Chains A and B, each alone.
Chain A
Amino acid sequence: MAKVLMKGNEALGEAAVRAGCRYFFGYPITPQNEIPQYLAKRLPEVGGVFLQAESEIAAINMVYGAAGSGARVMTSSSSPGISLKQEGITYIAGAELPCVIVNMQRGGPGLGSIQPGQADYFQAVKGGGHGDYKLLVLAPATIQETVDLMGKAFDLADEYRNPVMILGDGILGQMMEGVEFPAEETPVTLAEKSWATTGAKGRKRNVVNSLYLDPIKLEKHNEHLQRKYERMAKEVLWENYKTDDAELVLVGYGSSARVAKAAVDLARAQGIKAGLFRPITLFPFPKEALQEACKQANHVLTVEMSMGQLVEDVRYNLEFKVPVHFYGRSGGMVPTNRAVLEEIIRWAKSGKGENQ
């Protein structure tokens, strides 16, 4: 199949359609507007439904209704809109419904900026909404990877009956790259959903619900959810780039990982044994793979477009076996490969050190 040059947001939309998504509910917010705009044209072509909701809150609740009715459904937004969706997301997690939620992150907090950011890591991975629940979080770094992960995102959502988040950023959404899609005729096998509300003909009625007024029942439900999240641990994905002999390992995801990768190459050219560990699933976090990649490292440098969120998980998952440093930009500023190189040089020169 031929490569096409496409904008990230639009490629994501097309990939969702190829993955069998037939329902989208969303609301305009920069920098992801091309997702609803593309799907507004594309979904009717495949007999699907696109609806622009009156708010991000309404959109996530439409997703809840559609998901509970057995549909393969998606919504997308950017940071402030994802904040609005949090209650709805916990309902979807509590009721164990499948869906895909896309966050093209931008600068925050509050109205923030329309430039890219990665300051929603905590929100995506640690909760965001109330209660004990987890999203399965995928963090593609290229448009091709976004396309490649889309089918998996919907399949994992169905398999685990859980929302799956695609954590991108404004760069990924707005940039254009050559991308290949799976063939349109590729059959999509959809899971049978006997729990869905479809009208109770010839079966006991189904109830989609997250309310358990009896604390004994709710505790059991929470334990059931936790066991599910433990089962999810086998879905870890990551990329190692030149980490085999790396003395300084960079860790990053998404667009900042691409900058870090470029910095690794610049460092290697100067004789510094740098490498990059790039988690692709942020939850479940590839802890063992991270430890393996850093086992001969003297320093770890986390690069993010935030004031330091991923870095906490890196420290936690390395169990303080190696010093972890942080380099970040925020407010929509993007780290440059040269600035990251300077950080690499600084730490490489300092020898074996302590945590920053």
Chain B
Amino acid sequence: MITVFERPNSLTTAKTHYCPGCTHGIIHRLVAEVLDELGVQEDTIGVSPVGCAVLAYDYFNVDMHEAAHGRAPAVATGIKRVHPDKIVFTYQGDGDLAAIGAAEIVHAAARGEKITTIFVNNAIFGMTGGQMAPTTLVGQVSTTAPKGRDSAIQGYPLRISEMLATIEGTAYIARVSVHNPQEVAKAKKAIKTAFEFQIAGRGFTLVEVLSTCPTNWGYTPKESLKWLVDNMIPVYPLGVKKTLEEGKD
């Protein structure tokens, strides 16, 4: 028998603390598979966020920094400017990246920092118990908008990928999903492209991964995937939002 699927080396063997069915587990694994396939495990330095993935430094089998909330792109900038030949990535949730970290991600993109950001968008603050996030949908219930997000009071969600795609320093911006095996394969391809662009020194890359939060959405993991398809994809369309033309960097 030949093995067609097993644990990637770039993941540690630690059991994760994530809730059953949380898509963080899938996304971590995809990043690790890509690092393995590109042969860069020993040359990679990752930055974990504050959020459910705060313990990502226990799960990615590479040099890791824990960053302050929202500041991972700045930390990654410091690392990459000191080690331009290494692969540097940040892994951030929607509170980390789009709320407190909005300035840092915009400016890392503007500077064309040659880092890769994995942006996990589950439209809610997970770790702290389900508060409203900048990507929470209008009408979606959360603990700090218990009647559902009211655009008159709490405004509208941010489409981060589209926003960042307008910035010249970006080289590859894509939004993907992980709600079935086919989409998981597409997500992996996007993540691999993003890291390949970094290796080629083309500029800032980001992959936004639509994700579920069964615990705080109040659905089972399987129901959550359906909620994602029915509600998130219409607001956050999948696809590549920016690819830097060949020959440019």
Q: In the complex, is A directly touching B at CB under 8 Å?
A: yes
Q: Does A259 contact B (CB under 8 A)?
A: no
A211 to B50, CA, bound (A): 10
The verdict on A69 contacting B107 (CB below 8 Å), with A199-B43, A208-B65 known, is no
The verdict on A69 contacting B79 (CB below 8 Å), with A88-B68, A198-B86, A205-B61 known, is yes
- Count class of interface residues, chain A: 35 or more
Q: Does B22 contact A (CB under 8 A)?
A: no
Residues 190 to 205 of chain A near chain B (Cβ within 8 Å): 197-202, 205
Residue of A nearest to B43 (CB): A199
* Binary contact readout B57-77 vs A (1 if CB under 8 angstroms, 0 otherwise): 100011111111001001111
The verdict on A199 contacting B71 (CB below 8 Å), with A66-B78, A205-B63 known, is no
Residues 53 to 107 of chain B near chain A (Cβ within 8 Å): 54, 57, 61-68, 71, 74-79, 81-83, 86, 103-104, 106-107
User: Number of contacts between A and B (CB, 8 Å)?
Assistant: 124
**B74 A49 Cβ-Cβ under 8 A:** no
A129 to B15, CA, bound (A): 34
**B66 A207 Cβ-Cβ under 8 A:** yes
Q: Does A62 contact B (CB under 8 A)?
A: yes
Q: Does A64 contact B (CB under 8 A)?
A: yes
Q: Which residues on B sit within 8 Å (CB–CB) of A198?
A: 45, 63, 83, 86
Closest chain-B Cβ to A74's Cβ sits at a distance in Å of 12
Closest chain-B Cβ to A325's Cβ sits at a distance in Å of 42
Closest chain-A Cβ to B45's Cβ sits at a distance in Å of 5
**B61 A71 Cβ-Cβ under 8 A:** no
Q: Which residues on A sit within 8 Å (CB–CB) of B106?
A: 54
**A61 B74 Cβ-Cβ under 8 A:** yes
Q: Does B42 contact A (CB under 8 A)?
A: yes
Q: Does B213 contact A (CB under 8 A)?
A: no
Residue of B nearest to A66 (CB): B78
Q: Which residues on B sit within 8 Å (CB–CB) of A210?
A: 66
Q: Does B31 contact A (CB under 8 A)?
A: no
Q: Does B131 contact A (CB under 8 A)?
A: no
**A62 B66 Cβ-Cβ under 8 A:** no
**A58 B62 Cβ-Cβ under 8 A:** no
Q: Which residues on A sit within 8 Å (CB–CB) of B43?
A: 199, 201
A67 to B76, CA, bound (A): 11
Q: Does B47 contact A (CB under 8 A)?
A: yes
**A199 B79 Cβ-Cβ under 8 A:** no
Residues 26 to 65 of chain A near chain B (Cβ within 8 Å): 49, 51, 53-55, 57-59, 61-65
* Binary contact readout B26-63 vs A (1 if CB under 8 angstroms, 0 otherwise): 00000000000000011111010000001001000111
Closest chain-B Cβ to A189's Cβ sits at a distance in Å of 19
Q: Which residues on A sit within 8 Å (CB–CB) of B41?
A: 200
**A197 B66 Cβ-Cβ under 8 A:** no
Q: Does A168 contact B (CB under 8 A)?
A: no
A173 to B107, CA, bound (A): 29
**B63 A65 Cβ-Cβ under 8 A:** no
**A53 B66 Cβ-Cβ under 8 A:** no
- The interface of chain B, by Cβ under 8 A from chain A, is 41-45, 47, 54, 57, 61-68, 71, 74-79, 81-83, 86, 103-104, 106-107, 111
7 chain-A/chain-B pairs, Cβ below 8 angstroms: A51-B77, A65-B75, A68-B65, A197-B65, A201-B43, A206-B63, A209-B64
